[in-house]
Amino acid sequence: MKPKKKNIQVGVFDSGVGGLSVANYLEEHLENIQIQLVQDTQNIPYGNKSPDLLIELVTPLLHRMVEDGCEVIVIACNTVTTNIISHLRKVISVPLIGMEPMVKTAAEQTKNNCIAVCATPATLDSDRYKWLKEKFASKVDILEPDCSRWSSMIEANQVEHQLIKKQMKDACQKGADVIVLGCTHYHWIEEEIQKTVAGKATVLQPVLPVAKQLKRIMAGLD
C-alpha cells in the first residue's frame, strides 16, 4: 500500500468574503489540502487603503498564519497582491501565491481590442496594474468601470443588482468583449455578470490558474 499523503496546510488570506470564495474552490478541486482562512474584516475594505497601511495591516496577520502552521499562503486579494506582495515575499518565510487582474489573458482573448477591468481603486492605482497594462495590453482599449462600492455592497450582502447590470451592459456597448474580475469579492456575483454579458463578453477571474500554481507548490512540499 502506498503511504497516505499528508495534508498540506494552506492559508487563504483576504479582507473579507472574497477569500471564502477562493477557499471553497480550492477545497473542492484539490486533494490533500487543509485550509486556514483568515479574513481581516475589522479593516475592510482594503480597496481604498495606501500601500503603507496595507503593509501595516497584513504583515502581522501573515506572520501569525505561518506560526499557526501554514506552509503556503494564497493572497486572495488583488489589492494586496498588486500593491505589496513584493514586500511581503521579503518578510514572509513561506511561498505566497498572489491574485491579480488577468490583463494578459484578456488582451490575448479580445477580438474587439477592448476589455473591461473591474477592480478596486487601490488595484487600479497600483504600479503592478499599470505595468500589466503597459506590458500586455498597450494596444488594447481598457475600460475601468467604477467598482469602488462593489466590495462593500457584497460584504454587506446589499448588492445593487441593477447598478452592476447597467455598468456591465455599458461596458459591452462600448466594445468590451472580455470582462476581468479583479477582486475576489466579485466572484460572488460572477454568475450574475456572466448572465448579463452572455453572448457579448467572456468573464475572467484567476482562481483556476491560482489553483494550478498551488498544486505545483504543494507537490514540492509533500
Residue with cell 447598478: 163
The catalytic residue among 70, 77, 118, 172 is 77
Do 147 and 119 form a contact (C-beta atoms < 8 A)? yes
> Which residues make Cβ contacts (< 8 Å) with residue 48, sequence separation at least 6?
120, 121, 122, 148
DSSP 5: P
**For the segment 51-98, what is each residue's pLDDT rounded down to a tens digit?**
999 999 999 999 999 999 999 999 999 999 999 999 999 999 999 999
Q: What is the mean pLDDT of the chain?
A: 95
Q: What beta strand segments (E) does 63-170 contain? A: 72-75, 96-98, 114-118, 141-143
Residue 112: all three cell numbers together: 474587439
Show the domains of the chain with their CATH numbers. 8-100+207-221 (3.40.50.1860), 103-204 (3.40.50.1860)
Q: Is 147 a catalytic residue?
A: no
pLDDT of residue 220: 85
10 class by beta-carbon count within 10 Å (0-12 exposed, 13-18 middle, 19+ buried)? buried
Do 36 and 64 form a contact (C-beta atoms < 8 A)? no
Residue 66, Cβ neighbours under 10 Å: how many?
16
pLDDT of residue 146: 96
From CA 182, how far away is CA 142, in angstroms rounded? 13
pLDDT of residue 222: 66
Closest CA to 83 of 181, 183, 185: 183
Strand partners, 35: 10
pLDDT of residue 4: 56
**For the segment 114-128, what is each residue's pLDDT rounded down to a tens digit?**
999 999 999 999 999
Asked whether the predicted pLDDT for residue 40 surpasses 60, the reply is yes
From CA 13, how far away is CA 63, in angstroms rounded? 12
Q: What is the pTM of this model?
A: 0.93
